[in-house]
Chain A
């Protein structure tokens, strides 16, 4: 495949970044929206925009969604510009921030916004910002993960700033509420919709940008993820086929897990298909299969070659993640891994894996073994998060028959007047992913 001939990913990404920064610093609009596909350098962009705004002498507030995201941004800012005075506004709970922040001399931490006035950049979560009262709003704000922020959370903080840069990934999980919000469906300010939906409904003239290159996803994965989840806003991978390689020192023992590992190392994708069966959510066989694949990944002495380093880097536990749909499934996988002595591997649900990156991911398919397909399991963003966390390879563990299950359960969510219908719908995206995975299928009867 030489489809990327004539396409310089670095230049394309730089052009997009320049346009975004220009609109942010010199534009006339109150807001700028940036859509970023998985691994397209969103955090890098946020850090760079923050530094340029600070350089321009504009007091800046940064709104992120979780404390982990806030701490991560603070560390990145300090790495890039150790002299910059940064404020970390935190809650008054015990252990409100990452201890790593204590080692940064120019980062001031406080639970009171008043203690942080005058600092170039102040960073906190949306939930904490909602409690802040100011007489004079900040000149500028950056709202990170804006597609995962709920409209009502933006309502609570939007009075704090004059202008803002909204950055996020439209393909990931939508924000959710634990009670129904159908009553407001179709209203431009539906409180359970995403912040960007509301923002654009009221301010359609705002400039919208898109980062065109995923630096995380390998050339084998970008087309699938782009076609299945971003059909109208395609993106490319920053690296080409052959730029990344995954190799194992120990040869395959011919078992299903080993064969699927080899398939994934070769092609970037692997589908370990267990016999069709209706199972409880924590399907013991599938959970054990996931754990076995992880154990074999570690035992076979994997090494990952990529543009990041000159030589191959060993594939260690911290470079592997397991993704599931439900928390009890994650807990079951963790227990199974503990039995196999593999404890340092990240195991979490799609919601918690958002924004994270690994070399190899092992995914328990959300529809595996289910007798029905609910809106939760069909949600586009869930599958998108699970299949776009890896730099080298993704192995999906699934029971056979999901294709038929999808055909039995077409999306039946009522269409509400006035709401923006999201494309593609989860049903279609699931089919698209399944069709591609079928090319890398390894049937296995444990």
Chain B
């Protein structure tokens, strides 16, 4: 934990309210996000119990699996989910704008500009917590290799038509969520915790109810107390007042309410199957429907508070102005969405279970680059984040006290002005360290020359002499405005603002011997996970 976040958390404890950790919103929020609040059944990873899903906060769609062990009911749930999610996703696929992309020409090997389509906007999925993202990934994996009856008439348990496609999309969302700064799939707890520091541990911050209790406690209640209530308070029947955001449910709910209800449902089903005439069947069908309605009511009672909490979180986040660079990162999300749309349209097979060596290395490189970019952009967007970096010795701000013109040696001398900055910060500057400041959105580099310590300035400040080395134009004299002037406030960072692209890795077919050689052609499409004796549910 950085010093500034430790400080913010201590302040949150003393004031009883979460403290801002950001002054702008660092994640893009769609005008029309699709919120998904899923629940799973205890005992089997990824066995859905139900979900609230939709784009309208007042009219969520409730999907329920009344008997989670019944695989037909589970498929029915997934098919319903596909009917909600896929139309939402596909609505963004058609509105496109023209864009350019650099590609390598296969014949000449040169980099050329290619005119391509870029989706004008992209869908955004929001789940309550990080565990929700894991479930999205798990559902994606369990669905994308399924075969429909159309694809394979022989398959023993054909999936409903659109379920494998939903699996591919959820996999894409889940995979994109691993990229730092991406916003295609967000966990509300992560986004809120990015923007507010609470007086509890980061582990406790993953409880959406407790987190909101710190950020926006009820009038007159301190955050700590409100968070404790959210975590522990139970009603007369022993049920949590604020049900966990899921996808796991509270065991007291499972044992006392859910299990008896499912049992009643099972009984109703058995008796219905044993009905001997139409009249009897009618009665028993009514009983079954009532039992199912009871389970639906139970699932809704546990998901609705979380649903409302997610929207409340969205309200809080929307009050913050959007960070300037968040839009740029969202554009990359749009590229990612467009790319997967094209792969689906082109009829490519679903994402493989495991990445090959080259894909894995490429993904890791991309994510490291995005992480570094995110760290830099958040600091540039937000003085509070920059303050944290300054406190950590990774940046400094101050006033220019002197500018001396100087020139580089050589045939064509270029301007290399020496700028003295007076700062109260204590940056960890090494000999000839490079520092950067933002000049019209572009980074200008300078070199650290020397410093005068606080013992000589006498008032705790240090004087840092920097040599500006670029972005001053081509002439002998620097362009107007390209060199800070005496009295200007400036902020330099020790970290770079833009990330260089890494080296190009070999194509997967060229995987070297050290990494097992080329992966080889996949002759048959990957099969779905087979049913094993361990699948007891």
Name A's B-contacting residues (CB within 8 A): 30-31, 95, 127, 130-131, 151-152, 154-156, 158-159, 177-181, 183-184, 187-192, 195, 198-199, 202-203, 280, 327-328, 331
> Separation in Å of the A247 CB from the closest CB of chain B?
34
In contact, B506 and A179 (Cβ under 8 angstroms): no
Known contacts A152-B364, A177-B364; is A198 also within 8 Å of B354 by CB? no
22 CB contacts below 8 A, A to B, read A30-B513, A130-B503, A152-B365, A155-B361, A155-B506, A156-B361, A156-B505, A156-B506, A159-B512, A177-B368, A178-B372, A179-B180, A179-B364, A179-B368, A184-B360, A189-B361, A190-B360, A198-B514, A199-B514, A202-B513, A202-B517, A327-B393
In contact, A179 and B393 (Cβ under 8 angstroms): no
Name B's A-contacting residues (CB within 8 A): 3, 178, 180, 354-358, 360-361, 363-365, 367-368, 371-372, 392-393, 428, 432, 502-503, 505-506, 510-517
> Separation in Å of the B39 CB from the closest CB of chain A?
25
A195 to B514, CA, bound (A): 9
Q: Which residue of B lies closest to A335 (CB)?
A: B426
In contact, A155 and B505 (Cβ under 8 angstroms): yes
In contact, B358 and A155 (Cβ under 8 angstroms): yes
In contact, A191 and B360 (Cβ under 8 angstroms): yes
In contact, B515 and A327 (Cβ under 8 angstroms): no
In contact, A159 and B506 (Cβ under 8 angstroms): yes
In contact, B506 and A202 (Cβ under 8 angstroms): no
Known contacts A179-B371, A331-B393; is A188 also within 8 Å of B516 by CB? yes
Please tell me which one of the listed residues A151, A177, A190, A203 contacts residue B513 in the complex, with CB atoms under 8 A apart: A203
> Separation in Å of the B140 CB from the closest CB of chain A?
13
Which B residues are in CB contact (< 8 Å) with A184?
A: 355, 360, 364
Which A residues are in CB contact (< 8 Å) with B372?
A: 178
In contact, A159 and B360 (Cβ under 8 angstroms): no
> Separation in Å of the B133 CB from the closest CB of chain A?
13
In contact, B361 and A151 (Cβ under 8 angstroms): yes
Extra A-B contacts (15), CB below 8 Å, given A189-B516, A328-B393: A152-B365, A154-B515, A155-B358, A155-B515, A156-B503, A159-B510, A179-B367, A179-B371, A189-B356, A189-B360, A189-B515, A280-B3, A327-B428, A328-B428, A331-B393
A131 to B512, CA, bound (A): 16
In contact, A155 and B512 (Cβ under 8 angstroms): yes
Counted as pairs of residues, one from A and one from B, with CB atoms less than 8 Å apart, the total is 91
> Separation in Å of the A149 CB from the closest CB of chain B?
11
In contact, B515 and A198 (Cβ under 8 angstroms): yes
A184 to B178, CA, bound (A): 13
A354 to B408, CA, bound (A): 36
In contact, B368 and A178 (Cβ under 8 angstroms): yes
Which A residues are in CB contact (< 8 Å) with B357?
A: 155, 189, 191
A127 to B504, CA, bound (A): 11
> Separation in Å of the B62 CB from the closest CB of chain A?
33
Which A residues are in CB contact (< 8 Å) with B361?
A: 151-152, 155-156, 189, 191
In contact, B505 and A151 (Cβ under 8 angstroms): no
Known contacts A151-B515, A183-B178; is A131 also within 8 Å of B367 by CB? no
> Separation in Å of the A339 CB from the closest CB of chain B?
9
A181 to B355, CA, bound (A): 12
Q: Which residue of B lies closest to A162 (CB)?
A: B513
Q: Of A31, A152, A331, which is in contact with the most chain B CB atoms at under 10 Å from its CB? A: A152
For the complex of A and B, 4 pairs with smallest distance between CB atoms: A130-B503, A158-B512, A152-B361, A189-B357
A152 to B519, CA, bound (A): 16
A191 to B363, CA, bound (A): 9
Which B residues are in CB contact (< 8 Å) with A156?
A: 361, 503, 505-506
A259 to B151, CA, bound (A): 80
A183 to B274, CA, bound (A): 49
In contact, B364 and A181 (Cβ under 8 angstroms): yes
Q: Which residue of A lies closest to B506 (CB)?
A: A159
Please tell me which one of the listed residues A31, A177, A190 contacts residue B514 in the complex, with CB atoms under 8 A apart: A31
Q: Which residue of B lies closest to A331 (CB)?
A: B428
> Separation in Å of the A174 CB from the closest CB of chain B?
15
Which B residues are in CB contact (< 8 Å) with A154?
A: 514-515
Which A residues are in CB contact (< 8 Å) with B367?
A: 179
Please tell me which one of the listed residues B178, B393, B513 contacts residue A158 in the complex, with CB atoms under 8 A apart: B513
Which B residues are in CB contact (< 8 Å) with A179?
A: 178, 180, 364, 367-368, 371
In contact, B360 and A158 (Cβ under 8 angstroms): no
Which A residues are in CB contact (< 8 Å) with B506?
A: 155-156, 159
Which A residues are in CB contact (< 8 Å) with B360?
A: 152, 183-184, 187, 189-191
Which A residues are in CB contact (< 8 Å) with B178?
A: 179-180, 183
In contact, A155 and B503 (Cβ under 8 angstroms): no
Which A residues are in CB contact (< 8 Å) with B392?
A: 328
